[in-house]
Amino acid sequence: MQIALRTVFFYVAVVIVLRIMGKRELGHLSPFDLVVSIMIAELAALPIENTDKPLLEGVIPLVVLLLLEVLLSYAALKSETVRGIVNGKPSMVIIKGKIMEREMRKLRYNLNDLLVGLRSQGIVDLAEVDYAILEPSGTLSVIPIVDKRPVTPADLKLELPREELPLVLITDGRIHWVSVKKGGYDEGSFRALLHSQGIHSEQAVLFAYLDGRGNLQIQLKDAHRQS
């Protein structure tokens, strides 16, 4: 029972620490963030396994790591030098279709990794690459040559209206009234809108949103779809 309670306690503690550290995708963690995350997991596991160890001895290292992470993140925000040390810097591995062999050797980044990164973005010919940049997170950013870039409305001299962000109105039968009000509806007008679509209860709706042009898009739950 004591182990179960300790597990719950440190689970909550680790979740709080990670939330304070900020939102980051696992694949986009800097080496420093990755080390801190691993250390947090290890430090949280020790007092769970060793029930003779006071809880406070397990919490103090977590707090110290959290403070270190917050302080270094703030320093990196204010100083480009610190940011370069903590997070690293992007590196050009292809320039005008030519592989930068010396840079790749310095990064210990091999040709197979480079080709995989290019193929993942639909590029199989180096001649199609203007620049390729290895980001600090390890992802490869590729800028194709002008002839291979997708055509945009600006290229065709077309002026299109700006679209607003979609507003999520209903998820799994639950109405988000804040978004509904942002969309210009009150409760009465919104329910009337649903009724006009043949929907008499929000419980029948899996997902509903206003798209960028203000149109209502609705997907019903499987049980309420008509075959």
Is the same domain home to 14 and 78?
A: yes
For 91-145, what is each residue's pLDDT tens digit? 999 999 899 999 999 999 999 999 999 999 888 888 889 999 998 878 899 999 8
Average pLDDT over residues 65-71: 86
Is the same domain home to 44 and 81?
A: yes
Look at residue 226 and tell me whether its pLDDT is greater than 70.
Answer: no
Q: How far apart are CA 201 and CA 170, in angstroms?
A: 11
Is the same domain home to 16 and 64?
A: yes
Global pTM exceeds 0.95? no
For 145-158, what is each residue's pLDDT tens digit? 887 777 777 777 88
Average pLDDT over residues 163-168: 86
Is the same domain home to 55 and 100?
A: no
In this prediction, residue 227 carries a pLDDT of 47
Look at residue 70 and tell me whether its pLDDT is greater than 90.
Answer: no
Query: Is residue 30 in some structural domain?
Result: yes
Query: Is residue 74 in some structural domain?
Result: yes
Is the same domain home to 9 and 68?
A: yes
Q: Residue 98: give its domain's CATH number.
A: 3.30.240.20
For 177-220, what is each residue's pLDDT tens digit? 999 999 999 999 999 999 999 999 999 999 999 988 888 999 99
Q: How far apart are CA 187 and CA 165, in angstroms?
A: 21
In this prediction, residue 158 carries a pLDDT of 81
Is the same domain home to 7 and 49?
A: yes
For 1-48, what is each residue's pLDDT tens digit? 778 888 888 888 888 888 887 766 555 666 777 788 888 888 888 888
| Contact between 6 and 55 (Cβ < 8 Å) | yes
Query: Is residue 129 in some structural domain?
Result: yes
Q: Which domain holds residue 189?
A: 167-224
In this prediction, residue 27 carries a pLDDT of 57
Is the same domain home to 37 and 61?
A: yes
Number of domains in the chain: 3
Query: Is residue 154 in some structural domain?
Result: no
Is the same domain home to 18 and 81?
A: yes
